Amino acid sequence: MGTAAAPRRFCRCACFCSENLYVARYGLHVRFRSEQQLRQDYEPILRSRGCVSPKDFQQLLGELEQEVERRRRLGPESAARKALIASSYRPARPEVYNLLQEATLAPEFLAAAEYSASSGADLKGLLQRVETVSEEKRIYRLPVFTAPFCQALLEELEHFEQSDMPKGRPNTMNNYGVLLHELGLDEPLVTPLRERFLQPLMALLYPDCGGGWLDSHRAFVVKYAPGQDRELGCHYDNAELTLNVSLGKAFTGGALYFGDLFQVPSTLAKPLEVEHVVGQGLLHRGGQLHGARPLGTGERWNLVVWLRASAVRNRLCPMCCRKPDLVDDEGFGDGFTREEPATVDVCALT
């Protein structure tokens, strides 16, 4: 009698604790290894943005040291939160925890995914089934979820937000929102969405970015509201590809803006602005520089799924742009593995 294969072990790159630390007050991502390195690399630009006095610099130094320590503890603390939520939290809309059904997905999304998985499907045919927001920047849009499912998910997220459960926030740029794996929504919702529907789509849209070899993700919901987060600074995602779905509610402003890939100079000379449409998702490359304009009125909730392909990132970490220095991590980690997936022809990605 055969035995089940051991689950794959995912890792993070050691740079997670030293690279791309976001300093909101100065609108800057920094690399931080020591005070001397910080001064050498960033003192002129920090001064130009208001970090002038010794007190300003010491405050910044303390904040960065705290953030490094927070990142080191992140995996175990997230696992502990997930366990407590699983044992003690009572959902308001338990149906959103059911295994993903086609009835919760928009007909246009189902049609595009079904076509992508069919024999003879090609990019030209798929582009007739999705909206091309920008051919140059390879940004696409299509409905993802039905309106009733968006509403049910929003009600569940608000119920969780109002509970006394511990909450891990998405990242240092988003202070309001929910990590879906901690809430228990990875397995029933996001994993089947990635494996059954997004992978065939992404394989046609982004074959050069690992779209056909997606094997992990990081999914979270971000919230923008008056008195909370209202905008998002320019950044790129720790992902090969990104899905960003507008869940609601009623809002004005908050458009996304896109520059070029982060490796390209003069990246925001002519940014492309894209308005959110509730229920619809934007697809783009993770390395595409982007941000969010200030919210005008109302509340905006978005589901963001960072889609990762270990066959791509195992060779080059997108955050430090070096071969990853692997550290074991919880769950999907940051999508790195110590071995290549057995079914991937890595030569096809080079």
pLDDT, one tens digit per residue, over 34-80 is 999 999 999 999 999 999 999 999 999 999 998 899 888 888 899 99
Number of domains forming the structure of the chain: 1
Q: What is the pLDDT of residues 288-301, one digit of tens each?
A: 988 888 888 888 89
**Mean pLDDT (whole number) for 182-193:** 96
Q: Assess if residue 4 is contained within a domain.
A: no
Q: Assess if residue 1 is contained within a domain.
A: no
* pLDDT tier at 23, thresholds 50, 70, 90: confident
CB distance 290 to 222 below 8 Å: no
Q: Assess if residue 6 is contained within a domain.
A: no
Q: Assess if residue 243 is contained within a domain.
A: yes
Q: Assess if residue 125 is contained within a domain.
A: yes
**Mean pLDDT (whole number) for 229-247:** 86
Here the tokens at position 292 are 């969010």
**Mean pLDDT (whole number) for 262-274:** 67
135 compared with 227, residue with greater pLDDT:
135
Domain limits at 120?
Answer: 11-349
* pLDDT tier at 350, thresholds 50, 70, 90: very low
Q: Assess if residue 201 is contained within a domain.
A: yes
Q: Assess if residue 104 is contained within a domain.
A: yes
90-99, 107-116, 180-189, 334-343: the lowest-pLDDT one: 334-343
pLDDT above 60 (res 343) = no
User: What angle in degrees, to the nearest 10, is found between the helix axes of 35-48 and 54-88?
Assistant: 110
* Pairing state between β 326-328 and 10-13: antiparallel
Q: Which helix (H) or strand (E) holds 300?
A: strand 300-308
4-8, 17-21, 255-259, 308-312: the lowest-pLDDT one: 4-8
CA pseudo-torsion sign 24, 141, 205, 201: positive
Where residue 82 sits, what CATH number does that domain have?
A: 2.60.120.620
DSSP code of residue 5: P
Rounded to whole angstroms, how far apart are CA atoms 34 and 214?
35
* pLDDT tier at 269, thresholds 50, 70, 90: low
pLDDT number for residue 227: 76
